[in-house]
Amino acid sequence: MNAIQTTINPECPPVCSQAPTGAELVVAALRDQDVDTVFGYPGGAIMPLYDALPGSGLKHILVRHEQAAAFAADAYARVTGKAGVCLATSGPGATNLLTGIANAFLDSVPLIAITGQVPANVMGTDAFQEIDIFGMSMPVVKHSFLVRQAEDIPQIIAEAFAIATTGRPGPVLIDLPKDIAQTRVENPVTAKIEKNERRAPDPVAIVGAEALLKRAKRPVLYIGGGVAKAKAVQTLRRFNMLAGIPAVSTLTGLGVLPTDSADFYGMLGMHGTKAANILVQESDLLLVCGARFDDRATGKVDSFAPGAKVIHLDCDPAEIGKIRNAEAGVQGDLKSALESLAVGILDISPWRARAQELRSLHAFSYNAPGAGVFAPAFLEELSRTAGDSFVATCDVGQHQMWVAQHCHFTRPEAHLTSGGLGAMGYGIPAGIGAKLARPDDCVVTVTGDGSIMMNIQELATIRRYGVALKIVLFDNSTLGLVRQWQELFYEGNFSEVDLYDNPDFAEVARSFGVEAFTVTRREQTSSAIKRLLNTRGPVLAHIRIDPRENVWPLVPPGKSNAEMMER
């Protein structure tokens, strides 16, 4: 264990010569954690913290809804690898953060959410805008803090960042009563935390994993989002450059191996590629790295990869054996585990040939009938044209699956989406967070006419800060993925999915001061992509598509991944 000391700078803003307040200690502690940007929305109980922000050196991004603050901080964290920070007041401000906090929890994203709370002396009296956010947040955080003494603030902030960023990352909530934020502290403390060393994998487990790999004739490398969280991307790439194992990934694992890699066969699961799902079903060994056997990936779990043994590498011991028994469970630091696997190139030439055959047989076709814009073809061309700087921040729905299937990613931080929670409204706030974190990247929000309405007010945030976000809005005047399920599995009973009364989204964007244009015909695709990418500031491409278009292939609910429906 190595002790880390975090010295809190007691200096107040230039106009203040008194002892720092609790709020000023929060600001100083955030700076000591190398925080440079926070996302939030002010209100009564959090006002002391906002009073401490001017002159603090922290850049505050004023969103137009607290949920957007959490989503933007989430994306900022995914892109930078540091904890994102969001702020909100008590009551509705705090509850509005909860969806974003839950999103970070289910996708293992380091997030610090700081909420104002009513003064301590009125807590428990149903005071104005009082809510027990500490209790409400507990199922969706790694830890929650309720600050009871201002002197504790430096230690709490330091612990919160340590908890959020170590082991399996996740969100931490800090609830700050207003009176404590206003209390002056004469002797600010020096925060001390113990840094846990990365847990080395068990050598016995590594030996067992090596033996399984060497005996395998049909292995598949199954990549999850935990690889990027463990900063093990380059390690995994080096491992598989030598081993040459056919690889698939979950939704959040896309980009760990470049999607154009010779060894990569696409996303597995409900809307995965047919090649990926067949490979997994025919495999005799799954080398699972940082994945949790989510139901959207496995389909009917009892018939998932029925002939395969499992090597499961994960930092979280709770995940190993939770859903699928692992013949070799390797718990600990994923990067160290991959480095420890002494496996050279495997003698699996017939299996590699089979994988390449499946890729050829089941390649996507972009020659859809009709004159309208074909969303998969648009996205494929867009990502290729944008190149290695392309970053997609996705909302949830059909467009999300088309991005996963058809866009090209060279790194995991280029694909940001709400994976575990599936939260509509993620795309634009995430685009803001990603673009502010990596201003030189080509950040594109891909959204739908249902999703965009969840946080459309953030067009005002884009305009205020000049965020040069590109927005691709696929408009089919319906809740597409729900409509598709109702068509296929509910006998065409289309219940409450018709969005016939959508506004003219291009006009809406222009009313916010964002450039916008509409695309209706396939022949406009290349020129639309050129305009989208060459516009210097924020721009929205409103793309009308056929409401009858579905996402293919599809594993029906309750079915095996071997039972894929196709167009």
Residues 278 and 362: their CA atoms lie apart, in Å, by 10
Rounded to the nearest integer, the mean pLDDT of the chain is 94
**Record: fold of 375-544:** Rossmann fold (3.40.50)
- Which residue blocks in 81-152 are alpha helix, DSSP H? 92-106, 133-137
Place of tokens 């509705």: 92
Instruction: Kindly tell me the burial class for residue 195, based on how many C-beta atoms sit within 10 Å of its own C-beta (0-12, 13-18, 19 or more).
Output: exposed
**C-alpha atoms less than 13 angstroms from C-alpha of 451 in its C-beta half-sphere:** 33
Beta-strand pair 264-267/285-289? unpaired
Strand intervals (E) in 274-377 = 285-289, 309-314, 328-331
* DSSP letter, residue 287: E
pLDDT in tens, 34-65: 999 999 999 999 999 999 999 999 999 999 99
SS3 assignment, position 328: strand
Residues 306 and 285: their CA atoms lie apart, in Å, by 10
- Is residue 48 within 8 Å of residue 181, measured between CB atoms? yes
Q: Which residues of the chain have pLDDT under 50?
A: 1-16
The DSSP secondary structure of 211-249, one letter per residue, reads HHHHH-SSEEEEE-THHHHTT-HHHHHHHHHHH---EEE
**C-alpha atoms less than 13 angstroms from C-alpha of 285 in its C-beta half-sphere:** 22
Residues near 112 by Cβ (< 8 Å), separated by ≥ 6? Answer: 73, 83, 84, 85, 86, 160, 161, 164, 171, 172, 174
CATH 3.40.50.970 correct for 2-195? yes
Task: Provide the β-strand partners of residue 184.
Answer: 21
- Is residue 246 within 8 Å of residue 351, measured between CB atoms? yes
> Structure tokens of 205?
């487990």
In 3D, which of 90, 140, 97, 94 has the Cα closest to residue 118?
90
> Structure tokens of 43?
């209100």
pLDDT reported for residue 89: 98
Residues near 327 by Cβ (< 8 Å), separated by ≥ 6? Answer: 208, 212, 309, 310, 311
Residues 290 and 221: their CA atoms lie apart, in Å, by 11
* DSSP letter, residue 499: -
- Is residue 23 within 8 Å of residue 181, measured between CB atoms? yes
59 backbone φψ class: left, alpha, beta (φ>0; ψ -120 to 50): beta
Beta-strand pair 285-289/219-223? parallel
- Is residue 115 within 8 Å of residue 46, measured between CB atoms? yes
Greatest C-alpha distance within the chain: 75
Measured N-to-C along each axis, helices 525-534 and 375-386 cross at an angle, to the nearest 10 degrees, of 40
- Output the CA torsion 159→161→162→163 (10° steps): 80
pTM for the model = 0.94
Measured N-to-C along each axis, helices 398-406 and 375-386 cross at an angle, to the nearest 10 degrees, of 50
Residues 257 and 383: their CA atoms lie apart, in Å, by 16
List the chain domain ranges.
2-195, 203-361, 375-544
pLDDT reported for residue 48: 98
pLDDT reported for residue 17: 61
Tell me how far the alpha carbon of residue 190 is from its chain's centroid: 34
Task: Provide the β-strand partners of residue 312.
Answer: 288, 329
**Record: fold of 203-361:** Rossmann fold (3.40.50)
pLDDT reported for residue 197: 66
Residue 147 to residues 117, 171, 178, 341, 438: CA-CA distances in angstroms? 10, 17, 10, 45, 33
> Structure tokens of 261?
């890699």
Beta-strand pair 190-195/2-7? antiparallel
Whether residue 556 is preceded by a cis peptide bond, meaning omega within 30 degrees of 0, is no
- Which residue blocks in 121-215 are alpha helix, DSSP H? 133-137, 153-165, 178-182, 203-215
- Is residue 115 within 8 Å of residue 181, measured between CB atoms? no
Residues 314 and 329: their CA atoms lie apart, in Å, by 8
CA-based radius of gyration for the chain: 24
Residues 226 and 106: their CA atoms lie apart, in Å, by 12
Tell me how far the alpha carbon of residue 447 is from its chain's centroid: 15
* DSSP letter, residue 132: -
> Structure tokens of 395?
């909302």
- Output the CA torsion 87→88→89→91 (10° steps): -140
Residue 69 to residues 63, 132, 320: CA-CA distances in angstroms? 6, 20, 33
- Is residue 167 within 8 Å of residue 159, measured between CB atoms? no
Q: Residue 11: what residue type?
A: E
pLDDT in tens, 305-340: 999 999 999 999 999 999 999 999 999 999 999 999
